[in-house]
Amino acid sequence: DFLPLKCDACEQIFCTDHIAYAQHDCTSAYKKDVQVPVCPLCNTPVPVRRGEMPDVVVGEHIDRDCKSDPAQRKRKIFTNKCLKPGCKQKEMMKVICDQCHKNYCLKHRHPLDHDCSGTGRPLSKAG
């Protein structure tokens, strides 16, 4: 039977032999073919919403939530951003000011270096 059939994903016309998504390499199959992919690193299922590409969602899972060792080693460790306006420095550990209790980089860690608005007075005018 060679009646023309319309693919419900890409809306192109095919015969009965090529109407399956895999048979005509349908580029829109991810919209209709709903599956739950499994992370190749931690073997946990990754939920994918309808219309999202599974490869992209699994990639985001590996970058953010994956519990496997290779994914955790790849993550950035410098995540503590300096709160001094204009400074873009990030530190591995938090450097909290004793007076205003905000996080700063090593360069701006002293109260005189970041125009501290804390209640206490600085101990010395050095710096």
For domain 79-118, which CATH number applies: 2.40.50.320, 3.40.50.10140, 4.10.1110.10, 2.60.120.10? 4.10.1110.10
Alpha helices by DSSP H, 1-127: 29-32, 54-64, 69-74
Domain ranges of the chain: 1-33, 34-77, 79-118
Average pLDDT taken over every residue of the chain: 81
Q: Look up the pTM and report it.
A: 0.38
- Both tokens of 76, joined, read 């950035």
Q: How do residues 7-61 score in pLDDT, each as one tens digit? A: 888 889 888 888 888 888 888 877 776 678 898 888 889 988 877 888 899 988 8
Q: Taking a C-beta distance cutoff of 8 angstroms, is the pair 122, 116 a contact?
A: yes
